[in-house]
Structure 1
Amino acid sequence: MKVLLAALLFSGSGCSSTPESYFAVAKGVDDYTNRYRSTVLVYTPAGSCSGVLIAPRLVLSSAHCFCLPMDFASRAGTWVYTTRNAKCEQKASVRAFRYQQEDGKWVGVPESYEGTVVAHESFRSEVQDGKVKSHWADLAVIQLQEAVAGINPDGNMPEVEVKPNESLVVVGFGPSAEKAADLGMRRFGRNLVTEVITTRDIKEFRFTTGRVHVLSGDSGGPSFRETAEGRWLVGISGGFTKARGGHESWFTSTYYYRDWIERQKRDPSVN
């Protein structure tokens, strides 16, 4: 299946071809201890992304995983995609993995679920000459037909926005490095927030330095604040690029969209 490349190409950006790049969640740790089982792999006809279980029958991911056309990177000119003019995917498959050892090797045991996609009504993505310029309200949920068994959802919303220099956990199913072929392993790591953007339309935070970033396939995956008091879902991966002479990955802030997310959790369709 073709990997979804939405949100990978910002204006003026490029991707290094070296497999030694520090540009991947996998520079963190393979999740063999199943610490982040709530992070799931999401499939649509367009490709694969990550997501996070926030209720027994509800997965939160990125709207661009479902609402950008597969050929957006080859389209010349300026294109603006919204939930009104884009043909967003209406169905998605979700795989929840549990890792275990078999014959001395770690293997992922998947459980598969099907669901209906509901993108944020204010989602907007501007693409110029095949390069994504911006995403707004880049969130979507997948309403599952049945509850995911044996996994505790990670749906705790933050009461305060993240801050620069805050240490956050990033989780996703992207490859271990650019051009690597090991897509589909759940990995996690920490990085420090370098920028918080809260304009009228854009609510996101970014990592512009550090070892752990995201790659294709990590879009839609979660960022967590973890303390002795608990775990909070503070962001959803929106993409990555090269910027300011280094690597950059960014996340839609759940703090500013927590009312919308809570409404999705209360929807009778998933309760």
Structure 2
Amino acid sequence: MTKLLFFAATLTFSCHALAAPPKDVAAKKQLQLLRHISDPDLLVVRGTLDSENIYDSVVLVKPDPTIRTAQEGLCSGTLIAPDIVLTAAHCSCAELPKREDGTSQMDASRCESRVRVGISLNSPVGEVETSTTTWVSGHFLPNKDFLVKYDSEHNLGTVEADIALIRLVQPIKGVKVARLPEEYPQAGAEVVLVGFGADEYGIMGLRRFGSTQIESATPEQITLIDGKVKAWKGDSGGAVFANGPNNTPRLVGVISHGSAVHPTVVTSTFFYRTFCATELDRSLATAVATTAPTTPIPATPRPQISNNPSTLQAP
């Protein structure tokens, strides 16, 4: 039976901004990311711990504890601007009451307005992997067309527009943001999945990654090859990277749904590029407006954009 997978995790809370990594460290991380996209040795179920913080743009997403109706759970997301996170819409939306015939649905009408985003840095201590997480609040903005339908047995049916943006109350410093693609991804392309989902022991909250390929793609959704690395509990909203122009990694998808017996399905970021661009333009305008005229404005990392179900059963 398909069900929403929101899972709680005990994590370290703090509120300070992260320091920017040295340029040589950033360059090394970029090279490693490119290697992962085409490295067949990384085809391992449930992935590898991101001990070197190569994918630090991929963040935790949790309900805001100040909202009394907030669901308990854990999702993943990706920074696409210093103050904008891209994630799955179902991560902060609730299922509507069942109809008389037993069917039900989830849509954008019943979503929490606020969530918390955790920027996580992993660091091995001996043989133990630890994580320090910086938490920032944000406003949850689901796509207005988001829709999930369940049949009378609560099996997953239609999934549409499972994508959302989170506008953070303050920008994140020292983390390189992900870039969006300039075209639709193609079947057969090598990709890397990144998220905070469960490992083989069921432990969530540490960033993991693994390589696989695209099996098929429609404009809105991407299906990944089954039997290789798979998204798991807590990976919903996580990142799917592929190589773009000049071998630059691009965020081609947001992890939506899948299960142990079904392939991972991903929402295409290129299909929803206009939805993303609206908040990215707002973010850039805010950055410019808050910069004094006499102060040089630093280049703001942002994707080049042309015009235009934690997982639904599991991740």
Normalising by structure 2, we get a TM-score of 0.69
Q: How many angstroms apart in 1 are the aligned matches of 2:44 and 2:61?
A: 17
Higher strand share: 1
Q: Is the 8 A contact 1:175 1:184 kept in 2?
A: yes
Cα distance, 1:76 vs. partner? 7.1
* Matching residue's letter, 1:231: P
- Determine if the alignment matches structure 1 residue 184 to structure 2 residue 222: no
Residue in 2 aligned with 1:138?
A: 162
1:48-86 Cα shifts (integer Å, max 9, x gaps): 1100011101111000111233998xx972223322xx3
Q: Is the 8 A contact 2:196 2:206 kept in 1?
A: yes
Q: How many angstroms apart in 2 are the aligned matches of 1:215 and 1:105?
A: 22
Q: Is the 8 A contact 1:191 1:210 kept in 2?
A: no
Distance 1:231 1:134, change over 3 A: same
SS in 2 for 1:212: coil
SS in 2 for 1:267: helix
Residue in 1 aligned with 2:256?
A: 238
Q: Is the 8 A contact 2:95 2:106 kept in 1?
A: no
Residue in 2 aligned with 1:158?
A: 181
- Determine if the alignment matches structure 1 residue 33 to structure 2 residue 59: no
SS in 1 for 2:91: helix
1:213-261 Cα shifts (integer Å, max 9, x gaps): 111200000100136531111000001135xxx5410100011111111
SS in 1 for 2:135: strand
Runs in 1 of length 4+ with deviation above 6 angstroms? none
Unaligned runs of at least 5 residues, structure 1: 7-23
Q: Is the 8 A contact 1:25 1:174 kept in 2?
A: no
SS in 2 for 1:255: coil
Q: How many residues align?
A: 238
Identity %: 28
Residue in 2 aligned with 1:249?
A: 264
> What root-mean-square deviation, in Å, do the aligned CA atoms of Structure 1 and Structure 2 show?
2.5
Unaligned runs of at least 5 residues, structure 2: 7-42, 64-69, 288-315
Residue in 1 aligned with 2:87?
A: 61
Cα distance, 1:186 vs. partner? 0.4
Q: How many angstroms apart in 2 are the aligned matches of 1:217 and 1:182?
A: 10
Distance 1:214 1:104, change over 3 A: closer
Distance 1:70 1:97, change over 3 A: farther
Distance 1:117 1:25, change over 3 A: farther
Q: Is the 8 A contact 1:144 1:270 kept in 2?
A: no
Higher helix share: 2
Matches within 5 A, 1:96-135: 96-102=119-125, 105-128=128-151, 129-135=153-159
Q: How many angstroms apart in 1 are the aligned matches of 2:229 and 2:45?
A: 7
Residue in 1 aligned with 2:105?
A: 80
Q: How many angstroms apart in 1 are the aligned matches of 2:186 and 2:216?
A: 8
1:183-223 Cα shifts (integer Å, max 9, x gaps): 1110001111111123xxxx101114232011120000010
Residue in 2 aligned with 1:215?
A: 232
